[in-house]
């Protein structure tokens, strides 16, 4: 669901709630298509959602990198210990 702004000069009724001009409303793409004459995509909210998605993706990648480094270090330690045990 994405955020839209009511742009119609008159209020709209959606899911039992009244929305005035300038109000934000969350809609599915199908709902937005039906109300296209009365709403438009909230660009600021869309940008904020995209920025948050990028931040979460970067956070996920950083976590994976740290986990991979930890696993590599753990494997190297195991290998070193195995070599010492053989001697």
Domain match, 36 and 62 both: no
**86 confidence band (pLDDT: 50, 70, 90):** low
Q: Does residue 87 have a pLDDT over 90?
A: no
- The pair of structure tokens assigned to 68 is 């991979």
Domain match, 4 and 33 both: yes
Domain match, 36 and 4 both: yes
Query: Does some domain include residue 68?
Result: yes
**Where in the sequence is the domain holding 9, given as residue range(s)?**
1-41
Q: What's the pLDDT at 75? A: 85
pLDDT digits (tens, 9 = 90+) for 21-48: 999 999 999 999 999 999 999 988 888 8
Is pTM beyond 0.75? Reply is: no
Domain match, 30 and 2 both: yes
Query: Does some domain include residue 10?
Result: yes
Total domains in the fold of the chain: 2
Query: Does some domain include residue 46?
Result: no
Q: Does residue 83 have a pLDDT over 80?
A: no
């Amino acid at each position: 669901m994405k955020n839209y702004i009511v742009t119609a000069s008159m209020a709209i009724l959606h899911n039992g709630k009244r929305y005035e001009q300038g109000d934000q409303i969350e809609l599915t793409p199908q709902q937005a298509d039906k109300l296209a004459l009365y709403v438009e995509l909230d660009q600021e909210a869309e940008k904020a959602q995209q920025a948050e998605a990028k931040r979460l993706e970067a956070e996920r990648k950083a976590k994976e990198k740290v986990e991979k480094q930890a696993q590599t270090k753990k494997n190297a330690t195991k290998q070193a210990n195995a070599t010492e045990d053989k001697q």
